[in-house]
């Protein structure tokens, strides 16, 4: 089908929110909704606000849009690809980057796609750790501070849902916590404490 405008997407998002199940039930095999959403997240013709609206659907209705691991894996990979193609910082929109990170984690976890056999999961965890390693905003500058906090939030969510995921990175997490001098220090401390607690619990089992 033809390219959708921001106005058309606003109407579709409104119709979806009014009755998500009924909306999806009325669409035939030639009108797959999720692939259209994922494709247009990378469309230059759409505004950031429209893309944030599309991402909100993935954040609020992940199991409806990604009901199985296969669809969650595909959606997570697509979201990470969209993230990688955004303009370099600081030109790239920080809020869109943050929402893409949150949405990728949400669909991978809620669809039960997240795991060691999932390439999207490995790429996602690697990206989060890379962002978290920018201590005191030395690489990306203060403009990426919010993105770093989001990455730490996503890592805590992964460790909460998959206890022991970061057990082999305790030394690195402790080092980052000690070196971070900005207000983000507390976020590093929370992540390290959670990973340490889960690691100790895993050893006692």
Number of separate domains in the chain: 1
59-83 residues labelled b (16+ CB within 10 A) or e (exposed):
eebbebbbeebebbbbbbbbbbebb
Assess if residue 148 is contained within a domain. yes
Helix (H, G, I), strand (E, B) or coil at 65: helix
CA distances 120 to 72, 75, 114, 127, 144, Å, are: 9, 9, 8, 10, 23
Residue 1 lies in a domain: no
The residue among 118, 17, 9, 114 whose CA lies nearest residue 60 is: 17
> What is the reported pLDDT for 3?
79
Query: Would you say residue 190 lies in a domain?
Result: yes
Q: Which residues of the chain have pLDDT under 70?
A: 1-2, 89-93, 205
**Per-residue pLDDT at 84:** 95
Listed residue (159, 42, 30) closest to 93, CA to CA? 42
181 within some domain: yes
Polymer length in residues for the chain: 205
Domain that holds residue 44: 6-204
pLDDT of residue 57: 97
The per-residue pLDDT for 89 is 64
């Amino acid at each position: 089908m033809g390219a959708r405008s921001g106005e058309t997407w606003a109407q579709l998002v409104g119709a979806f929110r009014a009755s998500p199940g009924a909306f999806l039930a009325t669409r035939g095999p030639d009108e797959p909704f999720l692939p259209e959403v994922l494709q247009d997240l990378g469309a230059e013709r759409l505004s950031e606000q429209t893309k944030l609206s599309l991402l909100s659907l993935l954040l609020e209705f992940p199991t409806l849009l990604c009901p199985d691991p296969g669809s969650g894996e595909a959606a997570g990979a697509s979201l990470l690809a969209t993230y990688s193609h955004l303009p370099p910082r600081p030109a790239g929109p920080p809020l869109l980057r943050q929402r893409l990170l949150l949405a990728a984690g949400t669909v991978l976890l809620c669809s039960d796609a997240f795991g060691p056999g999932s390439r999207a999961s490995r790429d996602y965890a690697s990206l989060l750790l890379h962002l978290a390693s920018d201590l005191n905003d030395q690489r990306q500058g203060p403009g990426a501070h919010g993105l770093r906090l989001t990455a730490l939030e996503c890592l805590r969510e992964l460790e909460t849902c998959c206890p022991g995921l970061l057990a082999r990175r305790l030394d690195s997490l402790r080092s980052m916590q000690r070196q971070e001098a900005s207000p983000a220090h507390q976020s590093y401390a929370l992540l390290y404490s959670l990973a340490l607690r889960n690691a100790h619990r895993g050893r006692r089992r």
